[in-house]
Chain A
Amino acid sequence: MNQAPIPPLIVQGDQTLLLDVHSPLFQEAREELSPFAELEKSPEHMHTYRMSPLSLWNAASMGMKEQQLEDILNKYSRYAVPEVVLQYAQGILSRWGKIHLQPTEEENVLYLKVDDPYLHREISAHKRLKKYLTPSETGFFLDMLNRGSVKLEMIKLGYPVDDLVPLRDGDPLKVQLKEKLFNGRDFVIRDYQQDALNAFVGKGGPGTGFGTVVMPCGSGKTVVGIAVLAAQKTHTLIITPNVASLHQWRDEILEKTDLTVDDLGEYSGDNKTIRPVTLATYQVLVWRKNRLSDFPHFRVFHQANWGLIIYDEVHLLPAPVFKVTAEIQAMRRLGLTATLVREDGAEEDVFSLVGPKRYDIPWKQLEQKGWIAEAYCHEIRIELDDDEKLNYAVADRRKKYRLASENHRKFEITQALIEKHKDDLVLVIGQYIDQLNKIAKILNAPLITGKVSNKEREKIYSSFKKGEVPVIVVSKVANFAIDLPDASVAIQLSGSFGSRQEEAQRLGRILRPKKKNSHFYSLVSRFTVEEEYAQNRQKFLTEQGYKYHIEIWDQFREKL
């Protein structure tokens, strides 16, 4: 007789949900949990989800009721679900739908409907909200322009706004996805990309059409963006971190849709053409003459009747762009990212202004399915020289980090590793230009920094793709959106202190599926503060299930 599997879920009193990866019910439970709980950690054996106000409101906005949530928890829970957890979830969920944002007869005026008289009083007395709102008996009037700001403040107050104001349709765009790629292969939207598309588009009614999709590097976020563009069929503004990634978007749109070069505009430092689909960079948007002047390029948001704005790498969205995003709440908005981790803690801003997280998938899950490359992470530790140890001992903490990062013995390791991977394409990534210059010279490899022109960069990338140049050295400019399909080894010489998203993005450079497994080496000075920063940097990836193999260089060298 078959025994029923042991339920995979452990509901803790602090609203965390532990999910046993090895249970046969894991997959089923994961799918039912993810609408109302955020994946917090996903190491090897036990994944941790958390029910946060944002995740619960997100679920409520998708129509989830308290009873459904309770049923799911009871269904999968190994032990009795703590009463306190149900009460918490009930309390948070009940806040959803208490406040609605509705259109009024006047085009530029919206109505914030608040039925609860106590809440009405609380909002009336709220310092920062006061300036946006004109009270009426059961709500408040507000200017269309303040739609985002009010939503953001309300979230901070603990009450999400159910935005029922229909999104504005932009100018229509005739666009179709192609069936064949340039290389003749079929163009197929993968199942998880389709899921992400569906989650974003929803039923098309009020409350849908804005939000964020979180997917690992190399899993085809751009494809999701293009699929959304093709589904919405409207004039679209796509904002990317830099010109290289802008060009990558451009190339992919041309390859995967029937749009032509004439349909695509580029709004960058070099070129400012507005077309039905326009690609811009954060860099150009936030440019201004001086700290006191306006941002002149924000006009791009209003220069056309956009129906969709796509924020690529939304975790990098600069603060001033949040401000303008708050003003364009009537447009459809899609945020794409691999790591919704912001070291500045502005996740709430992304939720309120771009939209809630609509889709998220663990990295390891895609790796298992073969959609991203299997990657091995290594942390190689090497001691400082005796002279450096002395300098290190007397330095302040910041200087210590710099000395440890620039440990010159890292050069010998880099050379040895490149020798080990002589048949692979290797990226050497670092933070400090001096260090990168030196290693580029030693390796006789091209160096890409912010000063290298786009034209020159593309030339190097092209040689790299062809295998003519097996190693390139890149500074932090290459953290994002470099399309290097065949890079399978990355060696990280140094990084920006404990930045988790930088580490994840750098790993992402080698995650595109390929015949070989990928290797990520992070070089760290032993017995220094760099070890602590390295541990912090690795947090996001270890929580996603990546395992760092820690090696001591003197012993590891013998294995090579």
Chain B
Amino acid sequence: MKKWEGWLASLNDKAFFELYRHYIGKVKTPYHKQDLMQDFISWIKADENQQAIVELLDSEEAALLCLIYYQQPITPLDLNALMLQNCDKLVLNLQERLLIFNLEGHIQINPYLKGILVEKDILHPQRILNIQEASLGHMGFTADDNFLTALLIFLNRDDRVFVNDNQLSKRIIQDFKKTFTHLITDIDESMLYPWIKGFLKLGLLDKKDDMLLLGSKKDLKTFSELSPLQRSWNIVLSLCPIDLQDISIQIIQWIITWDKGSFTLDDWKKMVIFFHPNARAEQLKQWEIFGKNLISLGFLKSRGQRLFPQVQWLKEKEEPTVPPLLQPNGDFHLTPQTPFCWILPYTTEITGLGSFLQCTVSRRSFERGCKYQLRADLWIKSLEDLTGSPLDSSFATLVKEWDKEFFAMDIFPTYLLSLSDSTAGLLRKSDSLAPYILRELGDNQWLMNWEQRDLWQEELHRLGLSFYPPDERHSQFTPLNMEQQRNHGKGVVLKVLEPLNPAKLMSLDHWQDNLDAAAYGELISRRDRKLILNNMTVNEELLKGEVRQARGLDYNAKIRLLETALQPPKERIILRLPGEELEPKELELDPIELIKKGAESILRALNLETDKEEEIAVRKMLLIQRFPKSLI
């Protein structure tokens, strides 16, 4: 309260008395300024006045008030950046309407109005964004575990995936449409790009020239050990800018709390500003790209201008418990309750995709897995762990036969462990290292298991043989810490807000006969600026003396208005000038002087946007409005 009162006290007399006369009425002489200030405070405290001020607010004004409220301290320049537009005029207007005030360069909410603004949900953060209650129901596909398994199976291909400039080949696009069309109704090949990019970032895929390979078994296995919800989170966040990951988590956690919310891409851009006011332009750009990727990915469903988050992707899910069903002919059936199966992408082909994922393992598809050093024993064991029952013995034999044939000749990555005579003895004596030895070559040299390098290296360390082997292929996949995520976004709860329907502006037709044209024009201008709250705020005297705008054809009125604005303390003006393509442009200026150049009157002023001086002929001005600079 004190701050606002301090601001009121700091106003110069001209500005203060104008406000007083406008809202309260004639200043009775003799006066004491402190008493007048008390009058003002009493006026603003009155419920009916607060009600009248707040009733005229629209959604854009509410968004601005909201930003001011949450982004303390905030300068007018910050506000422009956050609103993605120049909003100086609106700021000035809200000041005139006593909703905000500018103290030492920082804009703040009038504390006397804060209560009613909060009560009426004007200051709810959601007002920053133009979120509308709208639901298209479950309109998109759900990127559940079956979809992830299917897409990885699909992308593990023998043919070229990319052609020139990393464009997807026609063949893969055709196949994608053919395979997934029964799952995704409005399928669009552009969605493959963000999915591939996401998988690459997570290490689930690897790109080699024009081909795609699956990531390491370790990465896929780690991915499979996450909960379905964690998998979905990892997918959605795989494409977010690295330095905005925390913000991304907060925002996505926020928007998925809305069951029926929708927003525009502009709102999406504002969200990051809301959570991260110091975001740089480059980050904003990346954020926008992230939003577009989420649209392609399918997480944000686009309908017209509005985006609908597919909240079911990130809803708490029941732990899937139904194992894949393997038939004796090699067909797998995966129900919607089947968890992600990391081994299937390596070794199967899709045969059907709908409520169930159907895939099959054939000799050819199994051999594809063999190329990843996926051996039959591991494959069988993994499946048995998954299904909890032994694999059909014939099928197991068949798979082992494929394995045996494929690995009849083998090139595989391994470590060559070479030890001195003394340390070699230690290794020979140790049973704990035996499982990791692939072959003993003699001369104290051993071929060691590549995949289990962490384990045997740890074992060597335990035996006192510490060393630092080169390990260029670190796991690429680092799952998100979900506990940390859950703590984000707390306290930001979206609610269904009453839409703002500003009260109707007062009809002032009957004043037309009582006022001269200039005063009536000023009255209408004040009404349009939402300064006229009731009959009290129609002050004839003030209107006559305080013309605040002049239009193009009335040259003399324009000169008079500019001269008034130039009188100390100077006022800020807004000019409307003819622009290109018949679009008038507006300039916000600090006037410096009026110059006579022949018959022409020229205004010299500082352009507040460019911070440069300009000279503008008065005759070109379509509209001039002046604002008390003291309020700024």
State the A residues within 8 Å of B (CB): 10-14, 16, 18, 41, 43-46, 78-79, 82, 84, 379, 381, 526-527, 531-532, 535, 539, 542-543, 547-552
Is there a chain A Cβ closer than 8 Å to B356's Cβ?
yes
Question: Could you jot down 26 A-B contacts, CB within 8 Å?
Answer: A11-B354, A11-B355, A12-B182, A12-B353, A12-B354, A12-B356, A12-B358, A13-B182, A13-B183, A14-B182, A14-B352, A14-B353, A16-B358, A43-B327, A43-B331, A45-B327, A46-B327, A82-B182, A82-B354, A84-B182, A527-B408, A547-B328, A549-B394, A550-B394, A550-B401, A551-B397
Cβ of B625 to closest chain A Cβ, rounded Å? 57
- Total interface residues on B, CB under 8 Å, equals 29
Is there a chain A Cβ closer than 8 Å to B405's Cβ?
yes
Q: Which residue of B lies closest to A547 (CB)?
A: B328
Given A13-B183, A18-B333, output 16 extra A-B contacts at Cβ < 8 Å. A10-B355, A11-B354, A11-B355, A12-B354, A13-B181, A14-B354, A16-B352, A18-B356, A41-B329, A41-B331, A44-B328, A46-B327, A526-B401, A527-B401, A542-B328, A550-B401
Q: How far is the CA of A396 from the CA of B327 in the complex (A)?
A: 34
Residues of chain B with a CB closer than 8 A to A381's CB: 401
Contact string against A for B residues 300-329, beta-carbon threshold 8 Å, 1 for contact and 0 otherwise: 000000000000000000000000010111
Q: Which residue of A lies closest to B185 (CB)?
A: A84
Say whether A45 contacts B325, CB under 8 Å.
yes
Q: How far is the CA of A18 from the CA of B355 in the complex (A)?
A: 10
Is there a chain A Cβ closer than 8 Å to B393's Cβ?
yes
Q: How far is the CA of A248 from the CA of B331 in the complex (A)?
A: 39
Q: Which residue of B lies closest to A77 (CB)?
A: B355
Q: How far is the CA of A43 from the CA of B325 in the complex (A)?
A: 12
Residues of chain A with a CB closer than 8 A to B505's CB: none
Say whether A46 contacts B325, CB under 8 Å.
yes
Contact string against A for B residues 355-396, beta-carbon threshold 8 Å, 1 for contact and 0 otherwise: 110100011000000000000000000000000000011110
Is there a chain A Cβ closer than 8 Å to B398's Cβ?
yes
Q: How far is the CA of A124 from the CA of B50 in the complex (A)?
A: 81
Q: A10 contacts which of B354, B397, B408 (Cβ < 8 Å)?
A: B354
Cβ of A46 to closest chain B Cβ, rounded Å? 5
Q: How far is the CA of A481 from the CA of B458 in the complex (A)?
A: 68
Contact string against A for B residues 227-240, beta-carbon threshold 8 Å, 1 for contact and 0 otherwise: 00000000000000
Residues of chain B with a CB closer than 8 A to A16's CB: 352, 354, 358
Q: How far is the CA of A50 from the CA of B145 in the complex (A)?
A: 25
Q: B355 contacts which of A79, A379, A526, A539 (Cβ < 8 Å)?
A: A79
Kindly identify, within residues 513 to 572 of chain B, every residue whose CB is under 8 Å from any CB belonging to chain A: none
Q: Which residue of B lies closest to A532 (CB)?
A: B363
Q: Which residue of B lies closest to A14 (CB)?
A: B182
Q: How far is the CA of A13 from the CA of B353 in the complex (A)?
A: 7
Residues of chain B with a CB closer than 8 A to A549's CB: 393-394
Q: How far is the CA of A548 from the CA of B401 in the complex (A)?
A: 14
Residues of chain B with a CB closer than 8 A to A527's CB: 401, 404-405, 408
Residues of chain A with a CB closer than 8 A to B362's CB: 535
Q: Which residue of B lies closest to A80 (CB)?
A: B355
Question: A-B pairs with the 4 shortest C-beta distances?
Answer: A13-B182, A12-B354, A542-B329, A43-B327
Residues of chain B with a CB closer than 8 A to A552's CB: 397, 401
Q: How far is the CA of A551 from the CA of B329 in the complex (A)?
A: 16
Given contacts A41-B331, A43-B331, A550-B401, contact A12 B355 (CB under 8 A): yes
Q: How far is the CA of A526 from the CA of B408 in the complex (A)?
A: 13
Say whether A78 contacts B325, CB under 8 Å.
no
Cβ of B331 to closest chain A Cβ, rounded Å? 7
Cβ of A430 to closest chain B Cβ, rounded Å? 23
Q: How far is the CA of A274 from the CA of B394 in the complex (A)?
A: 52
Residues of chain A with a CB closer than 8 A to B356's CB: 10, 12, 18
Residues of chain A with a CB closer than 8 A to B185's CB: 84
Kindly identify, within residues 320 to 352 of chain B, every residue whose CB is under 8 Å from any CB belonging to chain A: 325, 327-329, 331, 333, 336, 352
Residues of chain B with a CB closer than 8 A to A526's CB: 401
Cβ of A201 to closest chain B Cβ, rounded Å? 35
Residues of chain B with a CB closer than 8 A to A10's CB: 354-356
Q: How far is the CA of A84 from the CA of B354 in the complex (A)?
A: 11
Q: A78 contacts which of B355, B392, B393 (Cβ < 8 Å)?
A: B355
Kindly identify, within residues 388 to 420 of chain B, every residue whose CB is under 8 Å from any CB belonging to chain A: 392-395, 397-398, 401, 404-405, 408
Q: How far is the CA of A532 from the CA of B353 in the complex (A)?
A: 26
Cβ of B347 to closest chain A Cβ, rounded Å? 16
Say whether A12 contacts B325, CB under 8 Å.
no
Q: How far is the CA of A41 from the CA of B330 in the complex (A)?
A: 12
